[in-house]
């Protein structure tokens, strides 16, 4: 009990450091860049909820991220939704898509699960390529950020930043809460030994589906927010390479750690920023990072730190 | 002459394209199934290795003046050799871990290979000339059949059935199947299982390279040619189930045909029809048409 309380304390301190960083950072770092990091951090945390705590590797999470982006952008631009409603609508779309995909994907395990999510995501990609409301290759451009609750104008980065920060921290705390809840404990039990969880009387498929839908929904929250930050929803966000990127972020930060995906997202986004002028070499570098992580650095950054201080982070 | 209001020329033309695509689906999913059987990993690099096969053929022709027929032999060997290196240096370190790490590693390798070629050759395709012996075609009365396409279909059928025969009917195949079931026991009988695993990966990858050479004259040789294809092949594998070799051959050709038919009757869905079929199969028979649920 005391040990559990001790490790929770560590995580609380780490959370305060993270929150403090994102509050102070816009004074020295370009805010739009930070908002991008936060969106991807939330996306990676949502993805990690599935691989880290249920042991399911989704290779199609871009469909939730990108679809929510389209839904948010469309509702804000065409229907004139206020930003909070637009994001809510985007998140809800990702949730519905999550239920549909989840019902199919959890029927198989392991690498089949990965292949199925990848294939279904590709289907969503082709849907987005052809559907009239997505704008095809152009995407939905010049999405208005609008006025929060119809009052606060978000078009300035100074106003947008606290809004994104609140969404990121809210989403993060929700994931933290899920992981530490009795529900989260059951998920871990399923990851460790599925047949035993079944024999203990848990309806494993229902737990998996719920975890999948939660992960999809939170990925949608991240995608919807991102589309308002950049005022753009495009095919990039539903492409399979985006699904690969979020896997990479979680892997670099540490699969199954709470803070790993945030650090991983920050590292990968920073890397992309610095390497942007190198063109296709970015892909090569990402591939090399993948290979090195899998061969020699499987715990990831936060995983290594947690291992060194012997406390879960 | 019309069938269901579709001119027969168009109908058979699309069916032919479907069969061609099906040949590649079958060759690639066969390779994936062979690799999966023994290594228990899904080879995400497969699409990149298919592209590699096409590029090796292209480079052999343009740098060394070596033509199609030699490329058909050399490219699979070269691609297979790179596979052997990858297996020895990297994949062999992962067998004791969760199979997902194999997927992540091969995904990373695919990014590297495709990225390097994109830097070198850009995204545009390079043309690769058809071998002279197979240019031209013949008129079958109801349609025009280009010789090269007929060759691709026949050749891939022969290769697929040959692989099936070796695995299901020969002594070597019996070792392979036994090692799939119980590697420790097979090792105890004095068979070098690690080497068998290495060569199996090399062979599976070589098949992808061979498919790449055959594809080069039909599609253009481009760095991205395998990237989207491999996802479709994954869906094919899920539909067929990886339990049986014959299953992946039949599913590959069958789905190619269905895709061709979709192009005739409802072109909007031609990109997605295989994924839709996958969803339906998952609902009705989660283990796949020819698979057994483990």
Q: Whole-angstrom Cα distance, residue B69 to residue B42?
A: 30
Q: Whole-angstrom Cα distance, residue A246 to residue A268?
A: 9
Q: Domain residues of chain A, as ranges?
A: 31-239
Q: Do B282 and A107 touch (CB under 8 A)?
A: yes
User: H-helix or E-strand containing B18?
Assistant: helix B8-39
Chain A residues touching chain B at CB-CB below 8 Å:
51, 57, 59, 104, 107-108, 110-112, 114-116, 118-120, 122-123, 126-127, 129-130, 240, 244, 247, 251, 279-284, 286-291, 293-295, 298
Other C-beta atoms closer than 10 Å to the C-beta of B22 total 26
Smallest Cα distance from B147 to chain A, Å: 33
Q: Do B111 and A244 touch (CB under 8 A)?
A: yes
Q: Do B103 and A291 touch (CB under 8 A)?
A: no
Mean pLDDT of A148-159: 81
Q: Do B279 and A291 touch (CB under 8 A)?
A: no
Mean pLDDT of B23-43: 90
Q: Do B272 and A126 touch (CB under 8 A)?
A: yes
Q: Does B286 touch chain A (CB under 8 A)?
A: yes
CA nearest A113 in B: which residue? B238
- Between helices A62-77 and A83-105, what is the axis angle to 10°? 150
Instruction: List CB contacts (< 8 A) between A118 and chain B.
Output: 231, 234
Per-residue pLDDT tens for B263-292? Answer: 888 888 888 899 999 888 888 888 888 876
pLDDT of residue B112: 94
Q: Whole-angstrom Cα distance, residue B46 to residue B206?
A: 10
Q: Is the pLDDT of residue B199 over 70?
A: yes
| Cβ-nearest to A290 among B111, B114, B286 | B111
Smallest Cα distance from A256 to chain B, Å: 14
Q: Whole-angstrom Cα distance, residue A280 to residue B35?
A: 29
Q: Do A119 and B112 touch (CB under 8 A)?
A: no
pLDDT of residue B219: 87
Q: Whole-angstrom Cα distance, residue B26 to residue B135?
A: 24
pLDDT of residue A187: 93
The residue whose two tokens read 């990609």 is A125
Q: Does B42 touch chain A (CB under 8 A)?
A: yes
Q: Do A123 and B275 touch (CB under 8 A)?
A: yes
Q: Using 50, 70 and 90 to split pLDDT, how confident is the model at B31? A: very high
Smallest Cα distance from B242 to chain A, Å: 10
Q: Using 50, 70 and 90 to split pLDDT, how confident is the model at B3? A: low
Q: Collect all residues with Cβ–Cβ distance below 8 Å to A149 and sequence separation of at least 6.
A: A82, A84
Q: Does B262 touch chain A (CB under 8 A)?
A: no
pLDDT of residue A6: 61
Smallest Cα distance from A292 to chain B, Å: 9
Smallest Cα distance from B133 to chain A, Å: 38
Quick one: what percent of chain A has pLDDT higher than 90?
67
Mean pLDDT of A145-173: 88
Quick one: what percent of chain B has pLDDT higher than 70?
97
Mean pLDDT of B84-95: 91
Per-residue pLDDT tens for A11-30? Answer: 889 999 999 999 999 899 99
- Identify the residue among B94, B115, B262 best suited for mutation to test binding to A, counting A beta carbons within 10 A and taking the highest: B115
Per-residue pLDDT tens for A161-218? Answer: 999 999 999 999 999 999 999 999 999 999 888 889 999 999 999 999 999 999 999 9
Q: Would you call A27 exposed, middle or buried from its count of C-beta atoms within 10 A (0-12, 13-18, 19+)?
A: exposed
Q: Tell me the backbone φ, ψ of residue A48, rounded to 5 degrees.
A: -65, -30
Q: Do A120 and B275 touch (CB under 8 A)?
A: yes
- Identify the residue among B29, B47, B98, B111 best suited for mutation to test binding to A, counting A beta carbons within 10 A and taking the highest: B111
Mean pLDDT of B225-232: 90
Q: Using 50, 70 and 90 to split pLDDT, how confident is the model at B2? A: low
Q: Does B151 touch chain A (CB under 8 A)?
A: no
Helix ranges (H only) for chain A are 2-24, 31-53, 62-77, 83-105, 110-130, 157-180, 182-192, 194-199, 204-230, 240-253, 260-275, 281-296, 300-309
Smallest Cα distance from A285 to chain B, Å: 7
For the ranges A309-313, B132-136, B142-146, the maximum mean pLDDT occurs at A309-313
Q: Do A116 and B278 touch (CB under 8 A)?
A: yes
Query: Which of residues A35 and B289 earns the better pLDDT score?
Result: A35
Contact A205, A106 (CB under 8 A): yes
Q: Using 50, 70 and 90 to split pLDDT, how confident is the model at B1? A: low
Q: Is the pLDDT of residue B294 over 60?
A: no
Query: Which of residues A135 and A54 earns the better pLDDT score?
Result: A54
Task: Share the mean pLDDT of chain A.
Answer: 90
Q: Does B267 touch chain A (CB under 8 A)?
A: no
Per-residue pLDDT tens for A222-269? Answer: 999 999 999 999 999 999 999 999 999 999 999 989 999 999 999 999
pLDDT of residue A20: 92
pLDDT of residue A1: 40
DSSP 8-state secondary structure symbol assigned to residue A250: H
Instruction: List CB contacts (< 8 A) between B93 and chain A.
Output: 295
Q: Do A290 and B116 touch (CB under 8 A)?
A: no
Task: Share the mean pLDDT of chain B.
Answer: 88
CA nearest B241 in A: which residue? A112
- Between helices A300-309 and A260-275, what is the axis angle to 10°? 140
């Amino acid at each position: 009990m005391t040990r559990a309380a001790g490790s929770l304390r560590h995580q609380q301190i780490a959370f305060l450091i993270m929150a403090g960083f994102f509050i102070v950072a816009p004074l020295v770092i370009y805010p739009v860049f930070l908002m991008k990091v936060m969106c991807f951090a939330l996306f990676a945390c949502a993805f990690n909820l599935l691989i880290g705590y249920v042991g399911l590797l989704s290779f199609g999470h871009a469909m939730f991220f990108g679809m929510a982006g389209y839904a948010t952008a469309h509702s804000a631009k065409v229907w004139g939704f206020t930003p909070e409603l637009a994001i809510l609508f985007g998140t809800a779309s990702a949730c519905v898509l999550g239920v549909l995909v989840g019902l199919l994907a959890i029927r198989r395990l392991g690498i089949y699960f990965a292949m199925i999510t990848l294939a279904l995501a590709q289907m969503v990609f082709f849907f987005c390529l052809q559907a009239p409301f997505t704008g095809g290759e152009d995407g939905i451009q010049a999405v208005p950020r609008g006025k929060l609750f119809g009052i606060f104008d978000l078009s300035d980065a100074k106003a947008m930043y606290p809004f994104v920060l609140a969404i990121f921290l809210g989403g993060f705390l929700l994931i933290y809460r899920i992981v530490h809840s009795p529900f989260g404990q059951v998920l871990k039990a399923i990851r460790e030994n599925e047949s035993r969880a079944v024999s203990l009387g848990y309806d494993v498929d229902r737990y998996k589906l719920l975890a999948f839908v939660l992960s999809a929904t939170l990925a949608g929250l991240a995608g919807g927010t991102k589309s308002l930050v950049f005022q753009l929803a495009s095919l990039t966000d539903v492409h399979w390479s985006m699904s690969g990127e979020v896997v990479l972020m979680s892997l670099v930060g540490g699969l199954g750690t709470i803070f790993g995906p945030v650090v991983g997202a920050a590292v990968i986004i920073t890397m992309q920023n610095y390497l942007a002028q190198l063109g296709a070499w970015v892909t090569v570098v990402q591939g090399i990072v993948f290979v090195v992580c899998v061969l020699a650095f499987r715990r990831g950054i936060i995983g290594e730190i947690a291992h060194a201080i012997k406390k879960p982070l | 002459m019309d069938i269901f209001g579709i001119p027969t020329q168009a109908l058979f033309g699309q069916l032919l394209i479907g069969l061609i695509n099906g040949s590649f689906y079958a060759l690639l999913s066969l390779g994936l199934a062979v690799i999966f059987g023994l290594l228990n990993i899904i080879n995400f690099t497969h699409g990149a290795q298919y592209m590699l096969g096409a590029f090796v053929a292209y480079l052999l022709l343009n740098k060394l003046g070596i033509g199609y027929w030699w490329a058909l032999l050399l490219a699979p060997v070269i691609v297979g050799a790179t596979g052997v290196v990858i297996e020895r240096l990297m994949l062999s370190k992962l067998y004791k871990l969760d199979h997902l790490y194999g997927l992540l590693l091969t995904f990373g390798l695919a990014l590297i290979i495709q990225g390097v070629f994109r830097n070198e050759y850009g995204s545009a395709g390079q043309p690769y000339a058809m071998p002279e012996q197979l240019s031209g075609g013949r008129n079958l009365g109801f349609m025009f059949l280009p010789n090269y396409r007929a060759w691709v279909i026949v050749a891939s059928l022969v290769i697929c059935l040959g692989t099936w025969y070796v695995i299901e009917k020969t002594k070597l195949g019996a070792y392979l199947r036994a090692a799939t079931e119980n590697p420790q026991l097979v090792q105890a009988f004095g068979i070098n299982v690690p080497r068998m695993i290495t060569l199996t990966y090399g062979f599976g990858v070589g098949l992808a390279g061979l498919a790449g050479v055959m594809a080069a004259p039909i599609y253009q040789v481009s760095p991205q040619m395998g990237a989207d294809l491999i996802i479709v092949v994954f869906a094919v594998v899920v539909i067929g189930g990886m339990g049986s070799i014959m299953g992946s051959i039949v599913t590959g050709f069958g789905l190619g045909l269905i895709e061709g038919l979709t192009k005739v009757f409802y072109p909007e869905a031609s990109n997605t029809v295989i994924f839709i079929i996958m969803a339906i199969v998952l609902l009705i028979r989660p283990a796949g048409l020819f698979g057994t649920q483990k």
